[in-house]
Amino acid sequence: MSERLVVIGNGMAGVRTVEEIISRDPERYEVTIIGKEEYPNYNRIMLSNVLQKKMTVDEIITNPYDWYEENNIALINHDPAVGIDPQGKSVTTESGVRIPYDKLIMATGSHPFILPIPGADKEGVVAFRTIDDTAAMLEAAAKYKKAVVIGGGLLGLEAAKGLQEQGMDVTVVHLAKWLMETQLDEKAGKLLQMELEEQGLKFLMEHATQEILGETRVSGLRFSNETEIETDLVVMSIGIRPAVELAREIGLTVNRGIVVSDFMETSEPDIYSVGECAEHQGVCYGLVAPLFEQGKVLADLLTGKEAKPYQGSTTFTSLKVSGADLYSAGNILNTEDMDSIEAYDSSTKKYKKIFLKDGKIQGIVLYGDTDDGSRYYNMMKKGQPVEDLQSIAVLQAIGEGAGLGDDVLSWEDDETVCGCNGVAKGDILRAIREKGLTSVAEVGKVTKAGTSCGKCKPQVQTLLESELGDAVTTASGICPCTDLNRDQVVTQIYAKHLTSTKEVFEALDWRNEEGCSKCRPAVNFYLNVAWPLEHEDERESRVVNERMHANIQKDGTFSVIPRMRGGQTTPQQLIKLAQVAEKYHVPLVKVTGSQRIGLYGVKKADLPKMWEELDMVSAQAYGKVFRSVKTCVGKSFCRFGTQDTMGLGVKLEERFEYIDTPHKFKVGVSGCPRSCVESAVKDFGIIGVENGFQIMIGGNGGTDLVEAQLLTTAETEEEVIDICGAMLQYYRETGVYGERTAPWIERMGFENVKTVLLDAEKRKDLWEGLNKATEAKGRKDPWGPITKDVDLREKMYTIENPELVGGR
């Protein structure tokens, strides 16, 4: 017969412990969960998104009622536990229900701290802790105009921003000198305040609230300096207190929280505690990651597994407010005996400070650019020496956007990707491989990665892409962040003149205010097409290969493939390639399928120096762009050749290279109908014949083989280039990000595409848009800021066709 397990608390810590137990031994216990609220288990971290109306209550439910039924769990909710009998081993609820237990887990959580001041019990004074609190705040925002949030910590700021977005005039009252003083140093706290003030929030710093004014409902606040402020709503967000009343009543050892051992045992046999109510080695944790770590230890213990003792947690914090990216981890307060590396870019308001002791990271503060947060966090957790983390490395990292998304593939399998849920890279990869997962949502369901704060979803997507390639993406190009399809998004970009991804996400009510790794590249592309001269291409929105300007391989190394227009090279280039390959111990030098020479197995750190020494530009074999042109030798050498294929191939590359497209765009130029370069399976295929060039479009030589369709026969090279440019722009303007030309033509209709491309006036109109895109490329670095070395940058950006890229 199964043992009876009772859990007091239907929150994140208690239910996660039950999930861990079920995953280890689903038949071990007959489980009953007792909850105070009327809802099933939900993600409390996402309440700020509900307040900001970016998510609904249903969307933050982690375990719906069906989950309890499927796992034979008895849920008693909206009926809190009010008594425990340790001798008789039973729990009594408020309604008088008595539940016997063999093992009891106390996951009672915490209470919001309410200032003990006159007026704290008035109508219109609320906490920000539960779904009901959030509903009360939204109801008040619909009726009233002014709100005060007492507390400038994480939740207080998220509450303030949410109320402001509902139209309220919001003031944050904070006792300390700067915001989030327990997670941020003064510099980062002041930067955060400046950003939020620019967004419209008001602040009263170093103010102590003395009294809440009003008759039955709040009308204002009075401070200790005798000043006052009017308000219709007061949100208390100044901390939490562990809920230990039941534990204290039955004589458990209680300090601030319920005292537990390294195995989450209380002072009473068969009673355990996890979560915010538990105190381990003098510490009570209020963040989700430690609660989940505790749950895993207890699950091992209760299922007879070899349990590793809980050793405490290294915590981190991030803020879910648009435009205010911050990350804090470890010890950033008691730093007198530590060294520090600090970098600040005043032009972009990006700030980084790393605290070090004995060559190891002890604390992290990042503001404005948090991409490196998880990388530093993993180094800190593992106690990894950081001799190579010099000041210049931190300075160079600011603004480069190279952060975690670039590095996650080269991490060790035991490094943490999802800090909230303690999910390592290896856990995610094993789940993808063993269970055939193809989406971030599926990975989250199996591993929990990305299901709490959601910050790690881009890294999960990167791991999926590394395992599955194109199979992980969908043709829609838009993701669960929005219900809008491609056409609706593009229409609004034009109608509202939106010129950045941030503007798109805000104006179109994106659920995730920062987007995700699917929609960011798509929206960035649509903006490039819509406003080529206004939109600043966002390197951080590009996929990892495009940011690194090299294809990442399965072992975390890269392939370097220089551009060889038309497949042609010179003895001098070959000598350089050989010298560089030998100098950097490149394990594989190979002729690629696109008639280029690739260097495979290159270390990330060697990329800038290798490009400098090669003095060549990238073939962009990694990008959703106009790719290199594959050619045969043509009539210059072949006895069957009818046209100068190599010359035409070079002209096409010089004219269209670096132009973004919805997906890769491949071209083949064959000198005769023998088609040695397989022109019939290219996006734009050209076959030389006696009277000109046959043009075929929409071919695909990939896993879904599609034969190109004959468009027309052009008489001259100029006509071929004209039609190719028009097709590129038509594809850019109407294609869905991630959609190849074959499905694009099927969707648009071949006859329709043919009509457009063979109409001289329509081609002229399309070329106007293409010329703007070319002009924009000429104004911008085609590769982005790979290095701060100016001389190296100039060499890396050297292009043989100066009129194409503004003479660079």
Average the pLDDT over each of 157-166, 414-423, 680-689 and give the range with the smallest value: 414-423
456 annotated as ligand-binding: no
Tokens describing residue 577: 């390639």
676 annotated as ligand-binding: yes
Q: Is there a contact between 406 and 276 (Cβ–Cβ < 8 Å)?
A: no
Q: Evaluate if residue 790 carries a pLDDT over 60.
A: no
Tokens describing residue 244: 């230990």
**Other beta carbons less than 10 A from residue 259's beta carbon:** 20
CA angle at residue 454 from 451 to 459, to 5 degrees? 105
pLDDT value of residue 796: 33
In terms of Cβ atoms closer than 10 Å to its own Cβ (0-12, 13-18, 19+), residue 120 is middle
Mean pLDDT within 485-501: 87
CA angle at residue 69 from 68 to 72, to 5 degrees? 85
**Which residues lie closer than 8 Å to 245 by C-beta, 6 or more apart?**
none
pLDDT level of residue 393 (50, 70, 90 thresholds): low
Crossing angle of helices 131-143 and 154-165, in 10° steps, is: 40
Query: For the chain, what is the mean pLDDT?
Result: 85
- The tokens 């404005």 sit on which residue? 368
Distance CA 113, CA 613 (A): 62
Torsion of CA 269, 270, 273, 278, to 10 degrees: 0
pLDDT value of residue 471: 53
**Which residues lie closer than 8 Å to 631 by C-beta, 6 or more apart?**
566, 567, 595, 645, 646, 648, 649, 668, 669, 670, 677
pLDDT value of residue 535: 87
Tokens describing residue 414: 């035991």
Which whole-number Å values give the CA distances from 76 to 96, 98, 262, 275, 627, in the listed order?
12, 11, 29, 19, 60
**Which residues lie closer than 8 Å to 639 by C-beta, 6 or more apart?**
none
Which whole-number Å values give the CA distances from 173 to 67, 177, 203, in the listed order?
41, 11, 6
Q: Evaluate if residue 801 carries a pLDDT over 70.
A: no
Closest CA to 722 of 696, 687, 758, 755: 758
The share of the chain scoring above pLDDT 70, in percent, equals 90
What pLDDT, in 10s, does the model give residues 171-188? 999 999 999 998 888 988
| Backbone angles phi and psi of 136, in degrees to 5 | -65, -40
Across 94-205, where does the E strand assignment appear? Answer: 98-100, 103-106, 110-112, 125-127, 146-150, 169-174, 202-205
479 annotated as ligand-binding: no
Tokens describing residue 749: 């209709």
Looking at per-residue pLDDT, the higher value among 722 and 509 belongs to 722
What pLDDT, in 10s, does the model give residues 21-52? 999 999 999 999 999 999 999 999 889 889 98
CA angle at residue 36 from 31 to 41, to 5 degrees? 60
Q: In 629-716, which ranges are continuous DSSP H helix?
A: 645-656
481 annotated as ligand-binding: no
Average the pLDDT over each of 480-484, 550-554, 615-619, 787-791 and give the range with the smallest value: 787-791
pLDDT value of residue 402: 37
Q: Evaluate if residue 732 carries a pLDDT over 80.
A: yes
pLDDT level of residue 792 (50, 70, 90 thresholds): very low
What pLDDT, in 10s, does the model give residues 96-116? 999 999 999 999 999 999 999
pLDDT level of residue 483 (50, 70, 90 thresholds): confident
3-state secondary structure at position 807: coil
* Residue length of the chain: 808
DSSP 204-263: EET--EEEEEESSBEEEEEETTS-EEE-SEEEE-S-EEE--HHHHHTT--BSSSEEE-TT
pLDDT value of residue 389: 53
Average the pLDDT over each of 243-257, 614-628, 719-733 and give the range with the smallest value: 614-628
Q: Is there a contact between 507 and 499 (Cβ–Cβ < 8 Å)?
A: no
Q: Is there a contact between 502 and 520 (Cβ–Cβ < 8 Å)?
A: no
Question: Please, what are the domains in the chain?
Answer: 3-111+242-302 (3.50.50.60), 125-238 (3.50.50.60), 543-622 (3.90.480.10), 624-808 (3.30.413.10)
- 414-445: burial string, b at 16+ Cβ within 10 Å, e else: ebbbbbbbbbbbebbbebbeeeebbbbeebbe
Q: Evaluate if residue 798 carries a pLDDT over 50.
A: no
- The tokens 């329709």 sit on which residue? 752
Q: How far apart are the first and last CA of the chain?
A: 78
Q: Is there a contact between 215 and 119 (Cβ–Cβ < 8 Å)?
A: no
Chain mean position to CA 708: 37
Mean pLDDT within 636-659: 86
DSSP secondary structure code for residue 314 in this structure:
-
pLDDT level of residue 781 (50, 70, 90 thresholds): very low
Which whole-number Å values give the CA distances from 301 to 24, 31, 265, 297, 495, in the listed order?
11, 16, 10, 6, 59
Looking at per-residue pLDDT, the higher value among 641 and 522 belongs to 522
Distance CA 169, CA 790 (A): 47
pLDDT level of residue 695 (50, 70, 90 thresholds): very high
- Bridging pattern class, strands 3-8 and 29-34: parallel
